[in-house]
């Protein structure tokens, strides 16, 4: 029995992946440093790259290699995909309690999906590595060429494809992109503070609720779903 058993299949939750379910910072940053090296530069490891978790790949790659006066974005993206597939995707530990939470949700009528800027195929592979892929009704993300990773358009696509009711759907993520994407589609959005956006970013983006610890997320989800049921 799940504490979410009282809800129905009309209730849905969209989860961001990086910085929300998995701590992907190390794998992503080490992969970026490999790309910079492969392009012929010496990586400056004093540069703060924590912000790179969340934005679409081509956008962040242009900024990362631009520091070195390099504009070969397409090549950098191709290298990143290769290196991340080889090693980076294995450097993605779960944040505490997420395995338990996702299995509780799986046992409930609530439908759960990912809404990640990662390619959906890569997101599925990472979740399989953790034995959590079957917890989700569908793993949604960008295409394999990284197109379709912008959150407003992605969430709209998920709502349409899955037949979701925005008034009964909740978005959970750690960056402003998640909050903006949710609100653009009239969804409530929980901002999580263990990820890479931080309190100021999520507050400015207008998160409906901030949650400081994975331990507190089940109660926060329950509260938001109750509020959606009353609306």
Q: List, by residue number, the catalytic residues.
A: 16
Token look-up 């034995």 returns: 131
In whole angstroms, what is the distance from residue 156 CA to residue 186 CA? 10
The candidate with the shortest Cα–Cα distance to 55, out of 163, 149, 134, 164, is 149
Q: For residue 225, report the phi and psi dihedrals to the nearest 5 degrees.
A: -65, -40
Query: How many residues appear in the chain?
Result: 231
Strand intervals (E) in the chain:
12-15, 111-119, 138-142, 169-173, 188-192, 209-211
Give the single-character DSSP code of 7: S
208: helix, coil or strand? coil
- What's the distance, CA 10 to chain centroid? 22
């Amino acid at each position: 029995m799940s504490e979410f058993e009282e809800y129905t299949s009309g209730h849905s939750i969209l989860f961001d992946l990086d910085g929300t379910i998995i701590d992907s910072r190390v794998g992503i940053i080490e992969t970026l440093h490999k790309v910079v090296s492969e392009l012929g530069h010496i990586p400056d490891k004093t540069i703060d790259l924590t912000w790179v978790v969340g934005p679409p790949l081509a956008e962040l790659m242009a900024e990362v290699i631009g520091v070195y006066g390099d504009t070969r974005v397409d090549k950098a993206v191709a290298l990143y995909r290769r290196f991340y597939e080889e090693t980076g995707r294995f450097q993605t530990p779960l944040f505490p309690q997420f395995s338990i939470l996702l299995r509780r949700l799986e046992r409930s009528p609530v439908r759960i999906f990912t809404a990640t800027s990662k390619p959906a195929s890569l997101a599925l592979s990472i979740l399989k590595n953790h034995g959590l892929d079957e917890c989700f009704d569908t793993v949604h993300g960008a295409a394999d060429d990284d197109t379709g990773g912008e959150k407003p358009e992605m969430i709209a696509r998920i709502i349409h494809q899955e037949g979701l009711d925005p008034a009964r759907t909740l978005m959970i993520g750690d960056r402003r992109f998640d909050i903006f994407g949710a609100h653009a589609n009239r969804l409530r959005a929980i901002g999580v503070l263990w990820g890479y956006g931080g309190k100021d970013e999520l507050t400015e983006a207008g998160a409906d609720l901030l949650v400081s610890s994975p331990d507190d997320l089940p109660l926060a989800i329950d509260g938001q779903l109750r509020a959606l049921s009353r609306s």
